[in-house]
Amino acid sequence: MPYTPHTAEDIREMLDVLGLESVDDLFRTLPAAVRPPAGLDLPSSLSEEEVWRVMSNLAALNAGQDELVSFLGGGVYDAAIPAAVDAVVSRSEFLTAYTPYQPEVSQGTLQVIYEWQTFITRLTGLPVANASMYDGSTALVEGIRMALGRTGRDAVVLPAALNPRHRRVLETNLASEGVTILTAAASPAGTTDPVALRAVLDGKVGAVVIQNPNHLGLIEPVAALAAAAREVGALLVASVNPVSLSLLKSPAEYGAAVATGEAQPFGVPCGWGGPLLGFLSCADDLKRLIPGRVVGRTVDHDGREGYVLTLQTREQHIRREKATSNICSNQGLNMARGTVYLALLGAEGLRELGAANRVRCEALRVILRGIAGVTLPFAGPVFNEFVVRLPRPAREFRAFAREQGILAGIPLDGFAGCGVGDLLVAVTERRTANEIERYGSVLRDFLETC
């Protein structure tokens, strides 16, 4: 049998030690009623080569972003992954290690987590970060819980232009905890209206969420939103695209108490949306409310520097029913991907990454502005993603472009005042000038074929 070393002789010897006749004697405590009479109705064991054939044939039936030219985003982006990232995380030392509960034999994993925490704190400007969350949506849930826990309040304001997939997860989580969810409307410019935010704020609101850039790709008026939150004593919880932090104001600079987001573009494959890499960071006075694993630097009994899991009393295995989060397993290996990725980029590489996204995004916007009937409905600044408004249904263009090998974007019909012609388009560093040109020509062809 695959993966087990037992020979018939081994089994005989082991049963002899136990004084048993057969392996089935070991299961005698299982009542007959719970035992499947005919075993498992699944196909028989296959060789590695046969399984490889089945699975690679299934993979071949898909068409992903290596094969197609992708302009899809909305939280997950077609970002380039350096080969060195895969090389590091395929090492068994990182791949197959357990959670570092025995620090003496886990310094590798622990130091990587400490380095990840450092990278995230440097990007967000907030002094504390944890070892990762499942994804951007659950990271935001936990960030809101922290803000509500600190303020002792039970209402949260979400922006209208919040990632709808994140909103859905927030609703599941917060509604059952009895949290009131309010919404701050977007202005006609597509960004959160500080006046509309003020209109829903009162002393019951403990957390004001902003997403920057928002789900329309627009950079939010963060200073005005932060000021409004501060006036009522609510904490600002920011959900940010970490790639944008190469250029954009850090959450700490505009007064966020918690910053969360999806760090998938830092070396993690899109993988149909999982496993991803949620991150969470916070102000110093919230550190004892932060969920999940946190690593600290300390010394061993011989004075050598080393790393340990710390602030463990926050965690579910100690606080049990008083815990404010139940997270146990996180996205450890993807966090290692993110750490190696940022180590490879360095400050200069990160700056270039931001610039590479910016130039490609603006180049496509220039092309689209030049196509008759096509508009960019929101005038405000963007990072690497934006809305284009077509004179015909965006879904039809998406299907047309797919025929040409292009994944054109995400239709926004019904989202935050968007219509049937609106499409969310992302442009990453992987897109070439030719591919961007082609996006324009395919759109022209589409509009001419009506």
Partner 1 sequence: MVTSDRKYTKDHEWVLAEGESATVGVTEYAAHELGDVVFLELPEVGTVVAQGEAVGTIETVKSVEDLFSPVGGEVIAVNEAVLDAPETVNQDPLEAGWLFKVRIEDRSELDELLTADDYDALIGS
Partner 2 sequence: MSHERQGATPARWGADLQTSLFAKGRAGRRATTMPAWRGDEVDVRLPADALRAAPADLPSLSELEVLRHYTLLSNLNHHIERGLYPLGSCTMKYNPRLNEKVAALSGFASLHPEQDEADLQGLLCALKLLQDALCEITGFAACSLQPAAGAHGEYLGMQVIRAHHLESGATGRTEVLIPDSAHGTNPASVVLTGLQPRMLKSGPDGKLDLDALRAAVGPQTAGIMITNPNTLGLFETDIVEVARIVHDAGGLLYMDGANLNAILGKAKPALMGFDVVHLNLHKTFSTPHGGGGPGAGPICVTEELARFLPPPLIREREGVYSLDACVGECRPSVHAYQGNTGVCLRALTYILRLGGDGLTRVSERAVLNANYLRKRLEGLLTVRHAEGTLHEFIATGSDWKDLYGVRTLDIAKRMLDYGIHAPTIYFPLIVDEAIMIEPTETESKETLDRFVAVVAAIRAEAEHDPDLLRTAPHTTPVSRLDEAAAARRPDLSWLGPCNCG
Q: Which is closer to partner 1, CB of 297 or CB of 319?
A: 319
For 447, the token pair is 């509009």
Nearest to 117 by CA among 350, 342, 327: 342
For 255, the token pair is 């007064």
Q: What is the DSSP letter of 308?
A: E
Q: Which is closer to partner 1, CB of 185 or CB of 311?
A: 311
Show the CA angle centred on residue 166, arms to residues 163 and 171, nearest 5°. 125
For 155, the token pair is 């209402």
How many whole angstroms separate alpha carbon 277 and alpha carbon 135? 5
CB of 237: closest distance to partner 2 in angstroms?
16
Q: Which is closer to partner 2, CB of 95 or CB of 199?
A: 95
Is 204 among the residues that bind partner 2 (CB under 8 A)? no
Cβ atoms within 10 Å of 357's Cβ, excluding its own:
27
The interface with partner 1 within residues 288-347 (CB under 8 A) comprises 288, 312-313, 318-319, 322
The site map against partner 1 for 264-293 (x = CB under 8 A) is: ------------------------x-----
Q: Which is closer to partner 1, CB of 311 or CB of 376?
A: 311
The interface with partner 2 within residues 219-248 (CB under 8 A) comprises 219, 223, 245-248
Per the document, the length of the chain is: 450
SS (H, E, C) 180-203: EEEEECECCCCCECHHHHHHHCCC
Cβ atoms within 10 Å of 433's Cβ, excluding its own:
10
Residue 30 contact, options partner 2, partner 1, none, Cβ 5-8 Å cut-off depending on partner type: partner 2
Contact range with partner 2 by CB under 8 A, out of 154-162, 181-189, 195-203, 319-327 = 319-327
Residue 419 contact, options partner 1, partner 2, none, Cβ 5-8 Å cut-off depending on partner type: none
Residue 163 contact, options partner 1, partner 2, none, Cβ 5-8 Å cut-off depending on partner type: partner 2
Q: Which is closer to partner 2, CB of 29 or CB of 449?
A: 29
Q: Which is closer to partner 1, CB of 293 or CB of 430?
A: 293
Handedness of CA 405, 266, 148, 227 (dihedral sign): negative
Handedness of CA 99, 104, 109, 114 (dihedral sign): positive
CB of 318: closest distance to partner 1 in angstroms?
6
Q: Which residue has the tokens 């290692």?
A: 336
Where on the chain is the footprint of partner 1 (CB under 8 A)?
Answer: 288, 312-313, 318-319, 322
